Structure 1
């Protein structure tokens, strides 16, 4: 039988993510995190779907991994918004790797649950009822959780003691009644060791990613064992499709949400004048919008060079984009299904056709985009250039967009679980007590979820799930405002100005080469630059942009 290519692929740690490492690794670390998935709502304002039983609630990592995998890998799904400054495939691979680690743990817990739980189901249900009460009280009345939670466990312990001393039946069944309250406790001790070992491993990967270490996302299920391993081949194809989709040049603008994947618009710089022939010419030489757009893109590609040592700009990525307009409330994006498309990208001649035709009154236009990934991937700055010609009027508009850093939840490193309590004999002072890494409630939560690991839909119904915003962008869904941090805001401002200058200077040179009178364009450019250097009182640390 012919063998397929056995290259490990996803098993090899991928470290060639360039300047976007920090954002990619921070998002990847979320797949390994512990804590209640309600932290996502408290910290991010994310939408959660509550389950039927609080005892089955997922952790942050479980909810995040399941939501991302279900949204990115199915063969039939809605298109994804490109995640600039992020290696989306690496994030998804870490979600798959974290899921596989938890499945290995759940297989062991399922065996413990079967032997010590299901065979002694009446006693197990009594113990589970006590922990369900604790979970419900902790969610609805956290201040009373200590009293009512302890009371529920005392009731269960009382029943266990009662059945052990005086079982309600005689004969062989009396032995079963005695064991049915004790066996779940024995299973709990075994399960705790399994859960602790798994938690330590997951936390080590969580911390390793945030420390900048090379943590491999091992996904053996993406490596086909032979040419009949259809499931692995489909998974590998889905990952490759994900990579290709991120390279699309079809973007979407959605009202106040701004350019999806690149953030809101924060500035507009324009040159707008009528085209007049230069002195000594009866008329200027005709040109197309694409000719000017191509010249601007060419010059933007070399903007990073500097004759001054240490003056080079970060790598600037320059592309021609087709931008489609969407209503602000749209929950889905689309891409043209025309012959001009090559997979997820529009061919150059298709973009050229859009650039050269009149697009006023349409929802699609061509732009030149220059993009920088700053602060180790935490900030994405984008300048988009639009060229409009109406009659003899030429308008060259440069728009600045900024996508802020990831929410602090994703950059928080694993810490010991602590609790401040009054000191003995000095109640007016507090001391810090280190809590167990895996407490009783967490052991029970993982143990009851384990048997349903192969039925994620049922687990979501039982315990709840994370609902992702649409249209979905892995990077933009979890960002904070750019302007909340001084250094990042300044970086966006400073890197945009050289790009604006190049656009204006290139436009003037291009028009001069085509016998256009550039005096008024030059004046507009000089006014724009002088306004940028003007001194006036303002609130330096307050921005209206999002």
Structure 2
């Protein structure tokens, strides 16, 4: 159990197995469920795995050895999320501001559980009909694999010729089976060898159809704003020695702990990963001079100014008038670390000053006071608004530096836009047009089964291998997620195409800027600094953010 102890320390959890534990349900966090449900719906989808590349072309699907064993998008996404976010040796994740990554992972596990129940029944069917009539099953699987290979031909003439060849091959196999020189019980077995798998296919189709309807119902419910919480009883230890459940439970705890980390990464033109690109910056930089001639300035540090700003910014949601006003912001002292624009991984806090996935308060204060020039991490005070049910994340980052006699207060604005429209696509209704038997001059739509013949064969062929996921990945293929990976920023688009989202981002800047400046001026005045130059510059900046100069409306250099 040494590995589990390491997981507990990494996750920052101390609790052990307790009898009577309940089945965990997805957490519900106001303002973030819309985006979380949209991303979680991918785990229930039955479309091609390459479709997700529409949302981000950095995602890719690596085909396996056999196209017959290729997963659909829901299966591939579930497997990729589980490996990337719950594995013991996984790389660090980017925080998902505006979404709940634990909710997405829980739905992925719930979708896996639904499919596992289906695959258990399909495996039983494959054991009965596959082992007893193995030669016939191998013949049918070979024909379906050949059919999928032919269907992938780009030349239509080659494809038509291949289909004709396939029909001819089927007839030849039947002829050879009938001509085998066998009698008695063996003859009955040979005659049943080909039709018996068809009976197994019929049973498998009923199971697959019910599961497909269940998965699509979850898909629709999540996009419709409803949907029950994901049930993952396999994450509840049944006894103190249930290592698999304990590992899964701690993996979810690690995910929640990492989401609360106070370390973020600045990737150059990509902006702060998870917060979006920087679209504006305002700087106040003036000389520190004593208010009273002949007296020195009372000593203070950058942290004193940052802490005063923090206290004052907590009052942003209050105002003199009874209006809608600001929603409650999240105010955090961030440690910002630089990474390359094309970096494939990020780092976690390390060293004696790290507490789990975050830096200690003393280390944050030290970085704020001492690391203002040259290499190393930097301190920023962040004010974050999660708006539009998580579709828009507006973050104002404030940094205070003192170099020689100059104090600089810089306020930068970052915006993370809505997720790609791909995640809002619901399940399509599968129909075909037929002529009305009573009125042949009219056509009508007839619903088709959710699972067709080749899909039943694919599911039945994959079912026994789902007990060996690593082997199934090699045979069927895997989905590679974009790196550095975070469930929210990976699929984000630009917010500048939505008029009201742009307005919200622009309106948040002025109050934050003024509150930060007012708090800083109060600290400077208390420590004997001449604040006249700072006040003049602050008023000039306030005028800049509300300027009426003619500009290119609705166009931003992003």
Q: TM-score, normalised by structure 2?
A: 0.90
The answer to whether structure 1 residue 27 and structure 2 residue 39 are counterparts is: yes
Q: Deviations over 1:446-483 (max 9, x none)?
A: 11110101111111111111112222212212222222
Structure 2: segments with no counterpart, 5+ residues: 1-15
**Alignment match of 2:287 (pick from 261, 268, 274):** 274
- Unaligned 5+ segments in structure 1 are none
Q: Is the 8 A contact 2:218 2:227 kept in 1?
A: no
Would you say the 8 A contact 1:15–1:214 is kept in 2? Answer: no
Equivalents in 2 of 1:240, 1:68: separation in Å?
16
Aligned with 1:224 (options 234, 237, 248): 237
Q: Please, which of 95, 99, 102 is the counterpart of residue 89 of structure 1?
A: 102
- Residue among 157, 170, 179 paired with 1:167: 179
Q: Distance in 2 between matches of 1:255 and 1:452?
A: 44
Q: CA deviation at 1:363?
A: 2.5
1:73 aligns with 2:86: yes
Q: 1:379-398 maps to which residues of 2 (within 5 A)?
A: 379-398=392-411
* Aligned residue runs from structure 1 range 457-476, under 5 A: 457-476=470-489
**After superposition, what is the alpha-carbon deviation per residue over 1:314-354, rounded to whole angstroms, capped at 9, x for unaligned?**
11000111111112222222233222222122221111111
Following the alignment from structure 1 to structure 2, what is the Cα–Cα distance between the partners of residues 521 and 422?
Answer: 80
Q: Contact 2:26–2:231 at 8 Å: present in 1 too?
A: no
Equivalent residue number for residue 61 of structure 1: 74
**C-alpha distance in structure 2 between counterparts of 1:142 and 1:463, whole Å:** 24
Return closer, same or farther for 1:7/1:398 CA change in 2, 3 Å cut-off. Answer: farther
Determine the C-alpha separation between the residues in 2 that align with 1:525 and 1:421: 72
Counterpart in the other structure of 2:30: 18
Cα deviation for residue 103 of structure 1 reads 0.8
Alpha-carbon deviations, 1:415-460, whole Å to 9, x = none? 3124679999xxx999765432111121111111101011111111
Q: For each residue in 1:361-420, what CA deviation from the matched residue of structure 2 results, as whole angstroms up to 9, or x when unmatched?
A: 023111101111111011211111111111011111111111121222222222312467
Judging changes above 3 Å, is the alpha-carbon distance between structure 1 residues 42 and 349 closer, same or farther for their aligned structure 2 residues? Answer: closer
Secondary structure at the residue paired with 2:317?
A: coil
CA distance in 2, matches of 1:433, 1:148: 30
Normalising by the residue count of structure 1, what TM-score does the alignment of the two structures yield? 0.92
- Compare 276-285 and 110-119 and name the one that shifted more: 276-285
Give yes or no for the alignment of 1:510 onto 2:523.
Answer: yes
Instruction: Give the distance between the partners of 2:333 and 2:422, measured in 1 at CA.
Output: 34
Contact 1:191 1:447 in 2 (8 A): yes
| Contact 2:267–2:341 (Cα < 8 Å) also in 1 | yes
Query: 1:167, 1:174 within 8 Å by CA — same for their partners in 2?
Result: no
Contact preservation (8 Å) 1:406, 1:478:
yes
Query: 408-417 vs 146-155, which deviates more?
Result: 146-155
What residue in structure 1 maps to residue 267 of structure 2? 254
Q: 1:142 to 1:6 in 2, by over 3 A?
A: farther
Relative distance call for 1:156 and 1:211 in structure 2 (3 A) is: farther
Secondary structure at 1:453 match in 2: helix
Is 1:544 paired with 2:557? yes
Per-residue deviation, 1:300: 1.2
